[in-house]
Amino acid sequence: MKVVTALALARAGDTAHAKTMFEALRKAEPTNTMLNLYWFPVIEAALDLNQQQPARAVVTLAPTIPYELGGGDATIIYPAYVRGVA
């Protein structure tokens, strides 16, 4: 749930709180594959967009490509959405 909160904060433009939560999550879960290859890049890309860095956001999302459209709930396509926003 914290990962979704960090993403929501980033997308809402609350960069400071999103970064704080993001860094805490990265420190707490350094070996979590799904977080490192999917959720963390999405959060980081959202933060890139907040800094008016769309090209960097697209590059940041690269690790998520193998997991997009892989099933599950609607959040599985979120990297593609953020890429489209960029």
Q: Taking the domains of the chain in order of start, what are their residue ranges?
A: 2-85
DSSP class of 66: G
Residue 86's SS3 state is coil
Q: Which helix (H) or strand (E) holds 5?
A: helix 2-11
Q: Token pair for residue 49?
A: 């967009």
pLDDT tens figures, 14-54 = 999 999 999 999 999 999 999 999 999 999 999 999 999 99
pTM of the entire predicted model: 0.90
Q: Which residue has the tokens 């999550």?
A: 25
As a whole number, mean pLDDT of residues 57-62 equals: 97
DSSP class of 68: T
Burial of 7 (0-12, 13-18, 19+ CB in 10 A): buried
